Amino acid sequence: MTAREYDLIVIGAGPVGENVADRATQGGLSVVVVESELVGGECSYWACIPSKALLRPGAALRAARRVKGAAEAVTGDVDVAATLVRRDELAHHWDDTSQVEWLAGAGIDLVRGHGRITGEREVTVADADGIEKRLSARHAVVVSTGSAALLPDIPGLREAQPWTSRDATGVRDVPASLAILGGGVVGAEMATLFTSFGTAVTVIARSGLLRGVEPFAGEAVSKALTDAGADVRTGVEVERVERGEDGGVVLSLSDGAEVRAEQVLVATGRVPRTADIGLETVGLEPGSWLDVDDTLRVRGVDWLYGVGDVNHRALLTHQGKYQGRAAGDVIAVRARAADVDDRPWGAHVATADHSAVPQVVFTDPEVAAVGHTEESARAAGLGIRVLDYDLSWIAGASELADDYRGRARAIVDEERRVLVGATFVGQDVGELLHAATIAVVGEVPIDRLWHAVPSYPTISEVWLRWFEEYGR
């Protein structure tokens, strides 16, 4: 079997792999992408796009109900059937034709099938019929295969055939009741979604909701879910799951209680999709996260790169795309200067993954955060000052809702007088986040930020209120 040769082979055609391939192609390399499912990946068809499409009608309806004049015009609840139709449209009915056309237009080849590393700079691809093609890379191979839902080792859980996030975002028949295991981003967002659909939701979160952000954020989301009719149980674990003869599930909890539901969704974490891609060929453990440096090169294998979820640095689509751009640039530079000793390769390496990762959680209220929390800043040994502000005190908030509720926290490094973290909780706060991200990444001194005047009346005025509290 003759190998087709390219400068770069990318395994995985999600948004991460697409960005690697695009940047490397722009850098003058010949690139082939290998994909076993749909070009566009998890985000386009099973995660970001469909989940946000499903969440938006409930968010818009709740926002309308918070404003007199609009509230009186709202006569019903979320139209589930119409919402599912909109989800299908935004997910392109799980047809990747347009994405394939984009690859071709960008000059990137596509090979469909399951790719495995079978030698140095070599990938063998088996298609649906088992026919194999061998690809060879002159310079590098990138693994961007993403992650999958973790199924915890709970007796009876696997046999009960639980939903994962893919099942939830691809739902056709909405269950009357749903038990959700896990209080992270997926668990909190899906609880918000199915509560808006009228499903009786029970969330079981051993450590509370949204660990890793400021505690007040998880508390606000938990309260909102409870107020909306969900049952949020924290401090307990699921000890056993059984699927009954009626098709429903029974969850036995560590406090002796039982939860019964039509369906159960597991949202307790992610695992890398690296179990069957030939890692053993290069001395790595199949199914492991890939340990990479800031150029996204796998430590110990100078031609292999791990980009996106597989490296466990920041399991977010936007961060994976950022990594993809960095990796594509670096691979192209190294290919052009293969005889140059390894050294730092300019500014575009993935340094933002260390301290400036932004994230929006599309719950009600929204949660938006970047950089350090108070806890992580203190753990890092920073001398900080914490600035808290009630967003309902801002004139712009009253324009959004008659009873706006929200909170914003800034973390200031006192030694350098720069912002190192920010968290916003409230309706529509996701649109505040990029300004904070720029301030954190740019290390803009507070003395200078005083001159970035926020428009009135908007909730961006929180920046002024923070600095007034901080003082000159």
Secondary structure (DSSP) of 217-272:
HHHHHHHHHHHTT-EEEES--EEEEEE-TTS-EEEEETTS-EEEESEEEE-S-EEE
Q: How many CB atoms sit inside 10 A of residue 448's CB?
A: 12
pLDDT score of 351? 87
pLDDT score of 345? 43
Type of residue found at 387: L
pLDDT digits (tens, 9 = 90+) for 361-406: 999 999 999 999 999 999 999 999 999 999 999 999 999 999 999 9
Q: Rg of the chain over CA atoms, in angstroms?
A: 24
pTM of the model: 0.94
pLDDT digits (tens, 9 = 90+) for 234-266: 999 999 999 988 889 999 999 999 999 999 999
pLDDT score of 32? 98
| Domain architecture of the chain: domains with CATH | 4-40+96-148+272-352 (3.50.50.60), 165-268 (3.50.50.60), 365-470 (3.30.390.30)
- Give Cβ neighbours of residue 432 (< 8 Å, ≥ 6 apart): 368, 408, 424, 459, 460, 462
- Give Cβ neighbours of residue 212 (< 8 Å, ≥ 6 apart): 373
Q: Long-range contacts of range 377-384, CB-CB < 8 Å, 24 or more positions apart?
A: 377/411, 377/413, 377/420, 377/421, 382/413, 382/415, 382/420, 383/413, 383/414, 383/415, 384/411, 384/412, 384/413, 384/414, 384/420
pLDDT under 70 in the chain at which residues? 1, 338-348, 472
pLDDT score of 472? 67
pLDDT digits (tens, 9 = 90+) for 116-173: 999 999 999 999 998 999 999 999 999 999 999 999 999 999 999 999 999 999 999 9
| DSSP characters over 309-351 | GGG-S---HHHHHHHHHHHHHHHHHHHHTTTSPP----S-SST
pLDDT score of 228? 97
Cα distance between residue 287 and residue 1, in whole Å: 28
Q: Long-range contacts of range 355-358, CB-CB < 8 Å, 24 or more positions apart?
A: 355/420, 355/440, 356/437, 356/440, 356/441, 357/314, 357/316, 357/319, 358/318, 358/433, 358/434, 358/436, 358/437
Beta strands in 342-471 (DSSP E): 358-361, 366-371, 384-390, 407-413, 418-426
Cα distance between residue 157 and residue 161, in whole Å: 7
